[in-house]
C-alpha cells in the first residue's frame, strides 16, 4: 500500500504543466526552497518528502527501498489527479527516478536528473552504508552529517556562501535517525539501473555540479551516453547541490528545458 506523502508546492494549482522534484539524502523537500520560491512561470512545482523524511511518515520496517519510495511518489501524483509530470531527482532522488521509470513510466513526460548515478553501490560503499546505519542507530546522525557536509558543497560555495552550508546542515539535522537508517539500507540494496537507461525515451536533462565529488561529472557523462537523446549540462562552481549553490544557473537550465517540454 503506497504511503501518503507530505509535500510542498508552488505555482498555480490548476497548471497543466507540473514538475515533481525528489530530494536527496538525508534531506527533505526543504532542499528545493529556491525552486519553490521562484517556480517557472505557469508551472506547478511539487516537492514531496520521501517516507521518513520531512513531515512524511516512515515506511514500515527498517528499509526504504527505492521502489517503495517511487511507489509513494507515484501514489501522490495519482492522488493529485495528475496524468503525467516532469519528474526531477537529485542524487538519491535520481535513484528514485530510475525506480520510477521502471515501475510507472507512463506518469513521466520528461526527466531531470541532477547529480546522480545509475550504478549500484560497490561492495565497499554498501558495507560503509551498513556501518553508518549501525552508528546512527547507536549515536544519532551527528557523525554522518559531519562526514558528509564537507563533500556536499564546492570549495567556492563553502568560502563565499556560508549561509548555504548552514542551511544544508539544518536540513540534514532535521532528519530522524529512523528515516536515515531506512534510506541507507534502501540505497545499499538498490539495483543497477544502467541497463535500463536505454529504455528511457522521454526528453531528459542531466545536470551536474562541476565540483561534485559524490556523483562526479564522469558519472553524468556515462548516464548521458546511456539515455538516448539526453542533454547534459555542467554547472560551474557547484558541488553536489547545484540547486542551492548556483541557483540562478540551475534554474536557467531547468526552466529552459521545461519550456521545451511544456504542453
Q: Is 187 among the residues that bind ligand MLT (CB under 6 A)? A: yes
Q: Is 214 among the residues that bind ligand MLT (CB under 6 A)? A: yes
Q: Is 25 among the residues that bind ligand MLT (CB under 6 A)? A: yes
Options 64, 68, 92, 181; binder of ligand MLT; rule CB under 6 A: 92
Q: Is 19 among the residues that bind ligand MLT (CB under 6 A)? A: no
Measured CA to CA, the distance from residue 241 to residue 26 in angstroms comes to 12
Q: State the DSSP string of 178-215.
A: HHHHHHHHHHHTPPP-GGGGGG--S-EEEEEETT-SSS
Residue with smaller CB distance to ligand MLT, 43 or 92: 92
Q: What is the largest CA-CA distance in the chain?
A: 50
- Residue 214 CA: distances (Å) to CA of 82, 160, 194, 248: 33, 21, 18, 22
Compute the least distance from the CB of residue 27 to ligand MLT, in Å: 7
Strands 204-209 and 108-114: parallel
Residue with smaller CB distance to ligand MLT, 76 or 183: 183
Pick out residues in 225-244 that bind ligand MLT (CB under 6 A).
Answer: 240
Measured CA to CA, the distance from residue 253 to residue 48 in angstroms comes to 22
Compute the least distance from the CB of residue 117 to ligand MLT, in Å: 8
Options 3, 20, 24, 204; binder of ligand MLT; rule CB under 6 A: 24
Q: How many residues bind ligand MLT (CB under 6 A)?
A: 7
Question: Are the CB atoms for 90 and 185 separated by under 8 Å?
Answer: no
Q: Given the C-alpha cell 516532469, which residue does it identify? A: 86
Q: Is 154 among the residues that bind ligand MLT (CB under 6 A)? A: no
Q: Is 144 among the residues that bind ligand MLT (CB under 6 A)? A: no
Residues forming contacts to ligand MLT in the complex (CB under 6 A) are 24-25, 91-92, 187, 214, 240
Amino acid at each position: 500500500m503506497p504511503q501518503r506523502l507530505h509535500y510542498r508546492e508552488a505555482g498555480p494549482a490548476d497548471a497543466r504543466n507540473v514538475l515533481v522534484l525528489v530530494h536527496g539524502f538525508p534531506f527533505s523537500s526543504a532542499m528545493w526552497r529556491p525552486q519553490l520560491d521562484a517556480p517557472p512561470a505557469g508551472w506547478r512545482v511539487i516537492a514531496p518528502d520521501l517516507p521518513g523524511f520531512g513531515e512524511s511518515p516512515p515506511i514500515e520496517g527498517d528499509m526504504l527501498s527505492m521502489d517503495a519510495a517511487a511507489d509513494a511518489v507515484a501514489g501522490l501524483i495519482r492522488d493529485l489527479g495528475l496524468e503525467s509530470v516532469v519528474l526531477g531527482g537529485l542524487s538519491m532522488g535520481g535513484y528514485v527516478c530510475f525506480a520510477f521509470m521502471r515501475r510507472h513510466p507512463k506518469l513521466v513526460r520528461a526527466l531531470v536528473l541532477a547529480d546522480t548515478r545509475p550504478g549500484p553501490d560497490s561492495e565497499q560503499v554498501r558495507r560503509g552504508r551498513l556501518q553508518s546505519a549501525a552508528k546512527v542507530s547507536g549515536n544519532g546522525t551527528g557523525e554522518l552529517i559531519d562526514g558528509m557536509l564537507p563533500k556536499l558543497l564546492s570549495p567556492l560555495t563553502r568560502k563565499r556562501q556560508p549561509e548555504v552550508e548552514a542551511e544544508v546542515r539544518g536540513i540534514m539535522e532535521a532528519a530522524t535517525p529512523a528515516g536515515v537508517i531506512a534510506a541507507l539500507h534502501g540505497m545499499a540494496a538498490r539495483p543497477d539501473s544502467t541497463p535500463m537507461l536505454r529504455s528511457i525515451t522521454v526528453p531528459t536533462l542531466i545536470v551536474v555540479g562541476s565540483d561534485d565529488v559524490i556523483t562526479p561529472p564522469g558519472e553524468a557523462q556515462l548516464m548521458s551516453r546511456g539515455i538516448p537523446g539526453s542533454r547534459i549540462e555542467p554547472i560551474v562552481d557547484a558541488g553536489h547541490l547545484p540547486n542551492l549553490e548556483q541557483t540562478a544557473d540551475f534554474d536557467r537550465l531547468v526552466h529552459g528545458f521545461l519550456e521545451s517540454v511544456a504542453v
